[in-house]
A and B are shown apart, each in its own frame.
Chain A
Amino acid sequence: MSNKSSRNRKTKFWKSGDPFVWLTGVALMFCLLMIAGLLYLIAAKGLAFFWPSSVAEVQLKDGKKLLGEITGHEKVKAYNVDDGDIHRTQLKIGNRDLYGLDFRWINDDQIEEKTYPEYSVVLERREWGNMYGFIKQITESGSVICTGNQDCWPVLESLIPKFSKIHDEIKSIEKGEIGGINREIENLRLDIRGLKMKGGDQSEQISKLQAKIDEQQAIYKEKEQKLKVLYTKFDRDKITMTSVDGRDKEMPVGNIVRAYRPNAMSWFAKASLYLSKVWEFVSTDPREANTEGGVFPAIFGTIMMVLIMSIVVLPFGVLAALYLREYAKQGTLVRLVRICVNNLAGVPSIVFGVFAVGFFIYGLGSAIDSVFYKEALPNPTFGTGGILWASLTLALLTVPVVIVATEEGLAAVPKEIRDGSLALGATKFETTWKIVIPSAMPAILTGLILAIARATGEVAPLMITGVVKLAPQLPIDGYFPYIHLERKFMHLGFHIYDVGFQSPNVEAAKPMVFTTALLLILIVIVLNLTAIIVRNRLKKKYTTSAV
């Protein structure tokens, strides 16, 4: 009797489905924990990057002194198994121009003493990375205007913004005005070349163009003069820093991006420095082979590429799905096409990249060049990687997703609605555009969300179709035709790879990897949230769609 009841209880337990409900709950929790863990890791390491940490002066047992930020701590096993574990600290000592490398590992048992000198100064520089040291003196046109830490600090604080302005002016002349002149000269040269290619007697027009080139050269000389003046001004003030081991280094004040004394800063000062560094990260160009500075061009390139991709993929995907479901005669051919579309989604992205190189770049691009950009040849304009081709590659990659999602949405529109529209005298075309597609809009937007999420993360096909480590210009600027689709661009995903694994200074770059990854995740979240909000609004308003 008891055997039967215990058996009954067991079967009841399994029949009720409770164990499987628990299983799915645990699995879901596991997934969420993994995602949360990943986000936490990236956020913690990424966000901590900008916080100004204290500068420690470390005296080693052998008398050597080191000054820098403590950036890591680890425990390693000694070579000799009998010896215990070795604890060591990583110190960012900066001063690459003095020491050759910025990071050093010190065994903890070699440390004699650790102090935090109040006047230790951290200088973020345009070249050679950070400098950790003490101010010796500041000179203006050769004559000393102050000496020592206490006197020089306020002087330095007042000089840095002035020289930043001069630096920005120099940059704007170099990039902006001189860049414009160069562009003009290049265009004129191409025009001359085009005329020459046409053949016949063009000497009159050619000499006219040549005169214009000479004009531009004259303006260029003017600008050069201006620059010379600015550069002299830039070099006027110099600062001499003393490193912790007594070596002096002189540098122009204009070379300094930011100076601060973390050991003497209050929490609020550190917080405001943190915010300004975060802002610098998202709004400025990179320095030092992408290991310092900002990632703004990468952000810009990523978003612009995603936008172009969306503009291309949405009409093609929706029209293809529309044809497959509404207009094509349902038979073997249509089923075959649908299978192919679904399989396209599984093709490795690098294959799409290779296809794009062959078809878009060497095929279409060369054709466009030979028709529209003859004069520039043999330098390719569209016959090489660029943001247009990269966006089209990703559009190809994600079009199956949009097609499938749209087809689901179209299928979910009930037949009665279509019949109702037709019964009122609408043609099938009118019914499709006025009734069916608006009803299927949430599903279409779902497809778009998935496409954006996938495309923002793909890197492999981009590497061969137009992404570069450092792009000299943004794809959008103030010169006609304003949107330059043939330009190469920077991309956050590729930036992570480049900074983390192709950088000449891996230790310096490591924290940047986390910050850039965090930024990329944030951008994807923002893009997705926007699309989701739009979709929910549509759902609430008007739809009966199931997706």
Chain B
Amino acid sequence: MAIENVKETSENTVPERIKVHGDPKSSKFNVPDPIVEVNGVNLYYGEKQALKDIYMDIPKNKATAFIGPSGCGKSTLLRCFNRLNDLVDSARVEGEIIIDGEDIQHPSIDITELRKNVGMVFQKSNPFPKSIYENVAYGARIAGESRKSVLDEVVEKSLKGAALWDEVHDRLQDSALGLSGGQMQRLCIARAIAVEPDVLLMDEPCSALDPIATGKIEDLIAELKDNYTIVIVTHNMQQASRVSDYTAFMYLGEIIEYDTTETIFLNPKHKQTEDYVSGKFG
């Protein structure tokens, strides 16, 4: 029943937000100061198409959320931004993704530089089996920094930025695996911001955490917005409405609607969006 509705609405409604051949920019939802521009991205896993004609811009120093039911392509789109999909042999990306003015799909791009610029926090926190200090300093060490004073500074700054410093500053040499779930995730955030990226991608960062830890991380996102561009994928719609400035609703690999969070949740233009955010399906 719901699926038939989809077919109807996508044909009847004005597709001013979706695609118009030839002049993608005018059809995209305009955001202030875009740092990531996605132009006509299609992604295939072998024969199966996972992303269809994605056009969107991500605004700088704001939080953008991707919401949608399972399997709609949110994480896939997120992973395009730091080209982690390259690790999947059968993945093939068409289209243009421009971050900070550079097309990241271009063969001359240095992937390690891209990934330093576009950090990622994963759904299941994945601290390295090393000490807390070494985890946060890892990125800096990779970049070639080996002076202890500099590393100490980086570690302290990042842990403070991730609101973890007070809890662990006296046990930096302990194994990171001894932290609680929420602390581990904040450690991963600290690790990611230690390399000072422009964009921070977060793939359902709180789905494995309890409400208190989730609250702490949501507060953290609000602070991080000032210095980083956040793109967060989430299943939790309340979280999306609390945390993000802009929200994109995706379904079956397409962006159904992309607008300010207020609009998506209070005044959605598409019936599908309305059904989803009010919990009628998904």
By beta carbon, the residue of chain B nearest A428 is B87
By beta carbon, the residue of chain A nearest B123 is A416
Task: Flag the segment in A88-96, A243-251, A538-546 that touches B.
Answer: A538-546
| B186 interface residue per 8 A CB criterion | no
Bound complex: CA A438 to CA B131 (Å): 13
Question: Which of chain B's residues have a CB closer than 8 A to the CB of A435?
Answer: 128
Question: Which of chain B's residues have a CB closer than 8 A to the CB of A438?
Answer: 129-130
Question: Which of chain B's residues have a CB closer than 8 A to the CB of A544?
Answer: 129, 177
| A421 interface residue per 8 A CB criterion | yes
Within 8 A of A (CB), among B64-82: 82
Task: Flag the segment in B27-35, B187-195, B232-240, B243-251 that touches A.
Answer: B187-195
- Report the count of interface residues on B (CB-CB < 8 A): 29
Contact A424 B195 (CB under 8 A): yes
Contact A542 B87 (CB under 8 A): no
| A74 interface residue per 8 A CB criterion | no
Bound complex: CA A420 to CA B129 (Å): 12
| A515 interface residue per 8 A CB criterion | no
Contact B175 A541 (CB under 8 A): yes
Contact A416 B115 (CB under 8 A): no
| A33 interface residue per 8 A CB criterion | no
Question: Which of chain A's residues have a CB closer than 8 A to the CB of B116?
Answer: 424-425
By beta carbon, the residue of chain A nearest B113 is A425
Given contacts A414-B126, A435-B128, A541-B175, contact A423 B142 (CB under 8 A): no
Question: Which of chain B's residues have a CB closer than 8 A to the CB of A398?
Answer: none
Q: What are the interface flags for A153-195 relative to B under an 8 Å C-beta threshold, 1 for contact and 0 otherwise? A: 0000000000000000000000000000000000000000000
Within 8 A of A (CB), among B125-146: 126-131, 138-139, 141-143
Question: Which of chain B's residues have a CB closer than 8 A to the CB of A419?
Answer: 84, 87, 122, 126
Contact A425 B139 (CB under 8 A): yes
Contact B175 A424 (CB under 8 A): no
Contact B120 A423 (CB under 8 A): yes
Total A-B Cβ pairs within 8 A: 67
- How far, in Å, is B41 (CB) from chain A's closest CB? 20
| B269 interface residue per 8 A CB criterion | no
Bound complex: CA A423 to CA B201 (Å): 10
Contact B87 A422 (CB under 8 A): yes
Within 8 A of A (CB), among B180-206: 188, 191-192, 195
Question: Which of chain B's residues have a CB closer than 8 A to the CB of A426?
Answer: 112, 138, 142
| A335 interface residue per 8 A CB criterion | no
| A506 interface residue per 8 A CB criterion | no
Contact A424 B115 (CB under 8 A): yes
Contact B115 A420 (CB under 8 A): no
Given contacts A423-B115, A425-B113, A434-B138, contact A417 B195 (CB under 8 A): no
Question: Which of chain A's residues have a CB closer than 8 A to the CB of B129?
Answer: 417, 438-439, 542-544
Contact pick for A416, options B119, B124, B191, CB 8 Å: B124
Contact pick for A420, options B87, B126, B143, CB 8 Å: B126
Question: Which of chain A's residues have a CB closer than 8 A to the CB of B127?
Answer: 420
- How far, in Å, is A545 (CB) from chain B's closest CB? 8
Contact B87 A425 (CB under 8 A): no
Most central of A420, A421, A424, A430 by chain B CB within 10 Å: A424
- How far, in Å, is A432 (CB) from chain B's closest CB? 13
Contact pick for B128, options A421, A422, A425, A430, CB 8 Å: A421
Bound complex: CA A419 to CA B88 (Å): 11
Bound complex: CA A426 to CA B116 (Å): 8
Contact pick for B195, options A421, A425, A439, A541, CB 8 Å: A425
Contact B84 A420 (CB under 8 A): no
Given contacts A424-B139, A425-B143, contact A417 B126 (CB under 8 A): yes
Question: Which of chain A's residues have a CB closer than 8 A to the CB of B195?
Answer: 424-425
Q: What are the interface flags for A404-433 relative to B under an 8 Å C-beta threshold, 1 for contact and 0 otherwise? A: 000000000010110111111111001000
By beta carbon, the residue of chain B nearest A538 is B129
- How far, in Å, is A442 (CB) from chain B's closest CB? 11
Contact pick for A424, options B87, B131, B192, CB 8 Å: B192
Contact B175 A423 (CB under 8 A): no
Bound complex: CA A51 to CA B160 (Å): 70
Bound complex: CA A541 to CA B126 (Å): 17
Question: Which of chain A's residues have a CB closer than 8 A to the CB of B191?
Answer: 420, 424
Bound complex: CA A356 to CA B120 (Å): 52
Most central of A420, A422, A430, A543 by chain B CB within 10 Å: A420
Given contacts A419-B84, A420-B188, contact A427 B126 (CB under 8 A): no
Contact B175 A542 (CB under 8 A): yes
Question: Which of chain B's residues have a CB closer than 8 A to the CB of A423?
Answer: 82, 84, 115, 119-120, 122, 192
Contact pick for A421, options B114, B119, B138, CB 8 Å: B138
- How far, in Å, is A444 (CB) from chain B's closest CB? 15
- How far, in Å, is B43 (CB) from chain A's closest CB? 18
Contact A424 B119 (CB under 8 A): yes
- How far, in Å, is B190 (CB) from chain A's closest CB? 12
Bound complex: CA A421 to CA B115 (Å): 10
Question: Which of chain B's residues have a CB closer than 8 A to the CB of A434?
Answer: 138, 141-142
By beta carbon, the residue of chain B nearest A420 is B126
**Beyond A422-B84, A424-B115, A425-B116, 4 additional pairs, beta carbon < 8 A:** A419-B84, A424-B191, A430-B142, A438-B130
Q: List 18 interface pairs A-B (beta carbons < 8 Å), by A numbering.
A: A414-B126, A416-B124, A417-B128, A420-B122, A420-B126, A420-B127, A422-B87, A423-B82, A424-B116, A424-B119, A424-B138, A424-B191, A425-B113, A425-B139, A434-B142, A438-B130, A542-B131, A542-B175
Closest 6 CB pairs of A and B: A425-B116, A416-B126, A423-B120, A420-B126, A425-B115, A424-B139
Where the two chains meet, the residues of B that have a C-beta atom closer than 8 Å to any C-beta of A are: 82, 84, 87, 112-116, 119-120, 122, 124, 126-131, 138-139, 141-143, 175, 177, 188, 191-192, 195
